[in-house]
Amino acid sequence: MDSFRIIGGQPLFGQLTISGSKNAALPIIAASLLFKEKVTLTNIPELADIRTMIKLLNILGAETTFENNRLTIDPTDLRSDQAPYELVKTMRASIYVMGPLLATKGHTRVSFPGGCSLGVRPIDIHLKGFEKLGASIEVNGGDIVGKAKYLKGSEINLGFPSVGATCNLIMAAVLAKGITKMKNFAKEPEIWDLVEFLNRSGAKIMRKEEYIEIEGVEALSPIEYSVMPDRIELGTLGAAALITGGEIKLKWQHSDIISSFREKLEDMGHHVHLDEEEGIYTFKAGKMKGNIDVRTLPYPGFPTDLQPLLGVLLSLNKGTSHIHETIFENRFMWVPELERMGADIHKEGESIIINGVKTLQAAPIMASDIRAGASLVLAALAAKGETIIRRIYHIDRGYENLEKKLSSVGAKIFREKI
């Protein structure tokens, strides 16, 4: 199994390019099942989760090629509508095939995703939405079986703005008969990337103030589409430079979609700036100020995916800071590992209280999920001594070439088999 060996204490300086967004690419790849022609996608990151989604499409019968971040998918000859347990258990986003398969085949059987390290994570909002669109849903032998003669437009109130349910239901509704109005939808930027891809391919999806309106169309005709850059990688690499006292420039050809994260970094005394014309985001370490309070929220609130990264920065900040996690019940798995490195953190329910310490010390530690793993990489980059991080397959699910990128800006990080 691969591990990272990281020798801390090297400030990071230089320039890097941000890869394509995992969480935009996953639903867009699944959306290729809505077409009757070959789909070409570019800027697709080389990641374990992307390979899992491609494998799932292959099991369904789609033919794919994936080289140099360019993915072609030919979904014209699907032979199956089943997403097996082996894949769904390794990646919950496998349920993204449900919407497109219900829309095009009228039948799908997807293994019921259980809980995961982030918590229970039910999918009731997806399923109620499919039922609203006219599908029947039942659980049989551990699988969710969805059936529909055809899907018909409807009014759907999500109740909570689930990212996954918003994407899945958009994909189900684009080919439905009539108009769908979706209230309490998620507003994460990755959703608008899916919408952009579908609209440029002939879908009729309109974003209104209070709801998304989807007018069903007969068929879609694909355009070649370049997936948006990854805002969570942007935040991660920026935070890596800050925690080491360095300065990094990150190529960013997109609008400012991490403002809630940037504002907290600025409150901490760091300098963070986006030059939209140049397409460069600069992160420069400043003199740390203390006492930061953060609450994770759906977009445009503070993203739960950047919570562990900010938490590690705060562990070395002056004063006492608070983080309240409202999206996932189990997103503080990085805390016990950081305590092993000398951090002073107390958990109270869904909150943590962080008393900043002067230094972190190297220790053997373990990644538990993608973002917890990345936050431990940051801690190790700042720590005194040599840290070994185990179970980095979690990190490989969501970061393209992380150690190569960090090495090229001065980090001492090595992938080893331990």
Q: Which residues are catalytic?
A: 116
Q: Which is nearer to ligand EPU, 222 or 373 (CB)?
A: 373
The interface region with ligand EPU, picked from 72-80, 114-122, 169-177, 199-207 by CB under 6 A, is: 114-122
Query: Hey, what are 350's tokens?
Result: 């869904």
Asked whether the beta carbons of 201 and 223 are under 8 A apart, the reply is yes
CB-CB neighbours of 65 under 10 Å: 12
User: Which residue minimizes CB distance to ligand EPU?
Assistant: 164
Stretch that binds ligand EPU, among 30-38, 55-63, 104-112, 120-128 (CB under 6 A): 120-128
Stretch that binds ligand EPU, among 10-18, 124-132, 266-274, 356-364 (CB under 6 A): 124-132
Alpha-carbon distance of 157 to 182, in angstroms, equals 6
Q: Does the footprint of ligand EPU cover residue 129 (CB under 6 A)? A: no
Structure tokens at 324: 């309240």
Q: Which of residues 370-389 bind ligand EPU (CB under 6 A)?
A: 370-371
Binding mask 232-271 for ligand EPU (x = CB under 6 A): ----------------------------------------
Alpha helices in 244-351 (DSSP H): 259-267, 307-315, 334-340
Q: Minimum Å distance from CB 256 to ligand EPU?
A: 18
Rg (alpha carbons) of the chain, rounded to whole number = 21
Binding to ligand EPU by CB under 6 A, coded x per residue (else -) over 177-196, reads ---------x-x--------
Residue 305: CB minimum distance to ligand EPU, A: 5
Number of residues in contact with ligand EPU under rule CB under 6 A: 24
Do 283 and 265 form a contact (C-beta atoms < 8 A)? yes
Q: Is 330 in the site for ligand EPU (CB under 6 A)?
A: no
Closest CA to 47 of 407, 373, 393: 393
Q: 323: how many CB neighbours lie within 10 A of its CB? A: 25
Of the candidate residues 239, 241, 398, 411, the single one contacting ligand EPU (CB under 6 A): 398
Contact 42, 253 (CB under 8 A): no
Which residue number, 64 or 296, has a Cβ lying nearer to ligand EPU? 296
Strand partners, 57: none
- The correct pick among 41, 71, 73, 327 for binding ligand EPU (CB under 6 A) is 327
23 binding ligand EPU? (CB under 6 A): yes
CB of 90 to ligand EPU, least distance (A): 13
Q: Which of 50, 113, 126, 315 binds ligand EPU (CB under 6 A)?
A: 126
| Ordered alpha helix ranges (H), 316-401 | 334-340, 370-382, 393-396
Compute the distance between CA of residue 275 and CA of residue 258 in angstroms, rounded to an integer.
14
What are the CA-CA distances from residue 286 to residues 180, 281, 353 (Å)? Answer: 49, 16, 23
Restricted to residues 266-305, the positions that interact with ligand EPU (CB under 6 A) are 304-305
CA-to-CA separations, 242 to 65, 166, 247, in angstroms, rounded: 38, 34, 7
What's the gap between Cα 145 and its chain centre?
26
Q: Does 122 engage in binding with ligand EPU (CB under 6 A)? A: yes
Q: Which residues form the interface with ligand EPU (CB under 6 A)?
A: 23, 26, 93, 119, 121-126, 160, 162-165, 186, 188, 304-305, 327-328, 370-371, 398
